[in-house]
């Protein structure tokens, strides 16, 4: 639920029609503050959903929740809006203390379940609900049997996502051999950068740094259009102290015309972190400044800049 891909938005023509063209252009160009200023007064579900994603892209968790709650209220039959609300609740819980996180679990579960109820064939909603069931303890509504049921429901809709969820279930059961096999099955079916990122994340969690880095680099090679998976793979490489490939990939992302919601502020911060790791302090500061020019209150960028 914490993946960068969770904050992107492919704009359908019907949605774009209800959003002013300048605000849409700012969102696509990553100009978070400008887009937010234009969208805040607009009380329709599409605008509020875009506002939610913009806030999420720069870790504005409370503001994202308010906007997503508004979108879900204005369009209560929209599965995607219920899904995004569950995701922002989850993001808030992940970055809160234990007490606050536990208080939010029922909201997270309820929103994921509602998204699936509204559209039983919503692959993203099923996948995220299954992940919630796999990770959450039974006392708050989780459970591996529930997750397995979701994996079976995913099979005819997306074999790749079914394998991915089965891998998570196996990992939770401490069956690393099966988890690795399922992640590799996801890769064999999907041949996607996302599948490489999933495998890299698994290896990183198991402290197999070489394998994690190898698959992160393969994710970059498999993402010629430099989409959100490029950011995820670059973040893994930076975490593994292999910033060189990350720097090239992030610059490529920033030089690409995105057709989705652009996470350019986040990309600038990642690039700043990568440059700092190589000793290029001046270059890092330029990147943090570039992020702040897009989103002045972005805490990660302000921290990098020493503010």
pLDDT of amino acid 257: 76
Which residues make Cβ contacts (< 8 Å) with residue 108, sequence separation at least 6?
Answer: 86, 89, 90, 93, 132
Residues sharing a CB contact under 8 Å with residue 192, sequence separation 6 or more, in sequence order:
160, 222, 229
Q: How far is CA 307 from CA 32, 96, 159, 301, 304, in A?
A: 19, 22, 46, 9, 8
pLDDT (tens, 9 = 90+) of the chain, 307 residues, equals 444 444 443 333 334 447 899 999 999 999 999 999 999 999 999 999 999 999 999 999 999 999 999 999 999 999 999 999 999 999 999 998 888 878 899 999 999 999 999 999 999 999 999 999 999 999 999 999 999 999 999 999 999 999 999 999 999 999 999 999 999 999 999 999 999 999 999 999 999 999 999 999 999 999 999 999 999 999 999 999 999 999 999 999 999 877 768 999 999 999 999 999 999 999 999 999 999 999 999 999 999 999 8
Q: What is the pLDDT of residue 167?
A: 98
Nearest to 79 by CA among 49, 42, 39: 49
Distance CA 230, CA 220 (A): 6
pLDDT at 260: 65
Return the structure tokens found at 88: 């922002």
Q: Which of 165, 156, 155 is nearest to 131 (CA)?
A: 165
Nearest Cα neighbor of 220 from 248, 187, 256, 190 is: 248
pLDDT at 103: 86
- Residue 244 CA to residue 259 CA, distance in Å, equals 26
- Report angle CA 121, 126, 131 to the nearest 5 degrees: 170
| Residue 1: DSSP 8-state | -
Q: Any idea which residue has 């929103």 for tokens?
A: 111
Bridge partners of residue 10, in order along the sequence: 260
pTM for the model: 0.91
């Amino acid at each position: 639920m914490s993946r960068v891909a969770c904050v992107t938005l492919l704009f359908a023509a019907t949605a774009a029609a209800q959003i002013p063209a300048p605000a849409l252009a700012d969102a696509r160009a990553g100009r978070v503050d400008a887009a937010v200023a234009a969208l805040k007064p607009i009380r329709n579900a599409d605008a509020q959903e875009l506002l939610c994603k913009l806030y999420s892209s720069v870790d504005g968790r409370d503001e994202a929740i308010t906007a997503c709650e508004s979108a879900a209220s204005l369009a209560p039959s929209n599965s995607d809006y219920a899904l995004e609300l569950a995701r922002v609740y989850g993001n808030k819980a992940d970055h809160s203390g234990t007490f606050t996180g536990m208080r939010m679990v029922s909201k997270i579960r309820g929103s994921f379940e509602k998204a699936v109820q509204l559209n039983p064939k919503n692959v993203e909603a099923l996948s995220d609900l299954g992940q919630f069931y796999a990770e959450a303890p039974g006392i708050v509504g989780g459970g591996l049997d529930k997750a397995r049921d979701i994996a079976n429901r995913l099979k005819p809709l997306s074999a790749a996502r079914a394998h991915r969820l089965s891998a998570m279930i196996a990992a939770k059961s401490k069956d690393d051999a099966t988890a690795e096999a399922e992640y590799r099955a996801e890769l064999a079916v999907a041949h996607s950068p996302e599948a490489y990122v999933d495998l890299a994340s698994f290896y990183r969690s198991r402290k197999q740094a070489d394998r994690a880095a190898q698959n992160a680099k393969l994710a970059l090679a498999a993402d010629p259009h430099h989409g959100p998976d490029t950011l995820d793979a670059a973040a893994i490489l930076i975490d593994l102290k292999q910033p060189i490939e990350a720097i090239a990939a992030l610059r490529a992302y920033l030089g690409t015309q995105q057709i989705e919601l652009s996470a350019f502020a986040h990309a600038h911060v990642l690039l700043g972190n990568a440059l700092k790791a190589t000793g290029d302090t001046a270059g890092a500061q330029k990147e943090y400044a570039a992020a702040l020019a897009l989103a002045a209150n972005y805490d990660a960028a302000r921290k990098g800049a020493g503010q």
